[in-house]
Amino acid sequence: MSSAKFVALICISALLVGLTVWFADPVWGVLAVIALAGLVLLIGLRNGGGQVAPVDAEAPLRGELNGLMADLEREEKAQVQLGIQDMERVKELLRHAIDELVRRFGDMNAHIQSQRDLAISIVSAMSSHEHGAEGVSFSEFVLNTSTTMEAFVDNTVNTSRIAMGLVETMEAIDHEVNAIIAILSEIESIAKQTNLLALNAAIEAARAGEAGRGFAVVADEVRALSQRTNQFSQQIRGHMDGVHGSLVKAHESIYSVASMDMNFALQSKQRVQSTMTRIGEINQGMSQSARRIDESAEKVAVEVNAAVTALQFQDMGNQLIEHAQQRINIVTQMIEGISGRIRQSGQLSDALLQARSALRESAQQAAQGNHPVKQKSMSSGDIELF
Amino acid sequence: MGKVVLTVDDSASIRQMVAFTLKSAGYEVVEAVDGEDGLSKAKAKVADLVLTDQNMPKMDGLTLIKSLRGLPDYRNKPILMLTTESSDAMKASGKAAGATGWLVKPFDPQKLLEVVKKVIG
């Protein structure tokens, strides 16, 4: 009979007794009270009987509890196994990914190093002052070219200036030649007059007759001399005309050299200078760019280092996952221990006591485990030299 | 020929990081996957420096250090611990086992290089 029916029965009985005591004769009232007392005794006997026969009541509960424990163990084991498998997969995935990343960063580091070496070699090739096997540096080459070009232009300008001087000298010589030619005309006119004088002297000598015969000889000789003088003068004039002609030709040539446009040479000099300045600037610019490449490569190297530091999370994560796996295994052991103790113990109360002590022991064991990773961030760790 | 560094760690990525950091500075790097492997590689080729992790399968770092200190070749060689362990108690036992220094992970490649240069040049 269920307890609800019992309560209902007692309530109805109590109501009947109450009504009987209230309305009926005292005799009926006494009988009703006795009946009620009997009912209470019956209930008391029923409840007391439950304590007297405990084995019959606990047996199904034990069965239920053992079944529950077996189910719990089985289910927990299955779930833990799946969980640990997932963790193993996470570890494996991380291992593959991080190995690959580390390899890539390692390659990157090597490339950056060679990039830096190249940039440094460009800078040193452009600004080096040492005379190695390659000879001069680029800036020295620019300087040499500039100096050579300047010397060349200076020489050209100098040549022009000297030619100008030569032209003036030539003109002076020609002037002298013309003066000589003028003097020659004078000599020719003197010779002509001498000739006439000699002719007159010869006439006068003829007129004097025998007495003038000696004089006539002298007059003829003077006439011959004047004719030779005239001949020489003619020869000199011919030569002088030749000299004059040559001088005119030479004057023309040198004048054409001297009057050549020196602006071209001066402009060339300026162009060469500005070109060399520009080349120098480009050179400096390239040198600066190479230096900047080196600087940025250095920064990349620093970033790679930081990335490599951060990538070590895999090692720590791995250890933490392994530690978590250990903890999960401890939970399995706890459940196995509790379940075992419960199934081995006889009385339910004893079983509960055993279960609690098993849990306590496992907890103490678990507390002794060392935690390998205490880091909370990925900033690089302490270094201590003993 | 660069000096030889033996790196002992069960994590392949850490070994790789140590290797490329030190190789870029001209060191020769030998890798070992745990304490036992480290001990046999240390015997096969005498390293100028040993860099070891603590928590590894088969043989841990402290045991490796003790074993190496028992060998004549490694009595005076620098041995550095590179581990996630950072407790003072662990450091003290490392010092007692004969470790030259203690580096807590994660390591900064530049700082690792500085320490290695300081210890073996």
Q: Higher confidence at residue A51 or residue A298?
A: A298
Query: What pLDDT was estimated at residue A173?
Result: 92
d(CA A162, CA A265): 16
A380: pLDDT confidence band, cut at 50, 70 and 90? Answer: confident
Does residue A368 register a pLDDT over 80?
no
Other CB atoms within 10 Å distance of the CB of residue A33: 13
Q: Higher confidence at residue A59 or residue A211?
A: A211
Interface probe, candidates A309, A320, A379, chain B, greatest B C-beta count within 10 A = A309
A270: pLDDT confidence band, cut at 50, 70 and 90? Answer: confident
Q: To the nearest whole number, what is the mean pLDDT of chain A?
A: 83
Does residue A127 register a pLDDT over 70?
no
Quote the DSSP letter at residue A135.
Answer: B
ipTM attached to this prediction = 0.81
Chain B residue closest in CA terms to A106: B20
Does residue B119 register a pLDDT over 50?
yes
Partner-chain contact B21 A308, CB within 8 Å: yes
Which residues in chain B touch residue A375, judged by CB atoms under 8 angstroms apart? 84, 86, 104-106
Query: What pLDDT was estimated at residue A152?
Result: 84
Does residue A357 register a pLDDT over 90?
no
Partner-chain contact B101 A384, CB within 8 Å: yes
Cα–chain-centroid distance for residue A22?
Answer: 109
Report whether B36 contacts B24 (CB < 8 A): no
Report whether B42 contacts B68 (CB < 8 A): yes
- When CB atoms are compared, the residue of B13, B86, B118 closest to A374 is B86
Q: Higher confidence at residue A268 or residue A191?
A: A191
Task: Check if A229 contacts B (Cβ < 8 Å).
Answer: no
Structure tokens at B28: 């020769």
Please write the tens of the pLDDT for every residue from A175-232: 999 999 899 999 999 999 999 999 999 999 899 888 888 888 999 999 999 999 999 9
- When CB atoms are compared, the residue of B17, B84, B102 closest to A375 is B84
Does residue A22 register a pLDDT over 80?
no
Task: Check if A109 contacts B (Cβ < 8 Å).
Answer: yes
Residues of B with a Cβ under 8 Å from any A Cβ are 9, 11-14, 16-17, 19-21, 24, 54-55, 84-87, 91, 94-95, 99-111, 115, 118-119
pLDDT (mean) for A22-49: 72
d(CA B6, CA B22): 11
Q: Higher confidence at residue A47 or residue A204?
A: A204
Structure tokens at A219: 């007059």
Does residue A374 register a pLDDT over 70?
yes
Chain A residue closest in CA terms to B100: A386
Partner-chain contact A106 B20, CB within 8 Å: yes
pLDDT (mean) for B44-69: 92
In angstroms, the separation between the Cα of residue A293 and the nearest Cα of chain B is 20
| Sequence-ordered alpha helix ranges (H) in chain A | 3-23, 26-52, 54-127, 138-208, 213-258, 262-311, 313-344, 348-368
The fraction of chain A above a pLDDT of 70, given in percent, is 91
Query: What pLDDT was estimated at residue A330?
Result: 87
Query: What pLDDT was estimated at residue A93?
Result: 92
Out of A129-143, A230-244, A353-367, the most confident range is A230-244
Task: Check if A315 contacts B (Cβ < 8 Å).
Answer: yes
E strands, chain B, in order:
4-8, 28-32, 49-52, 79-83, 101-104
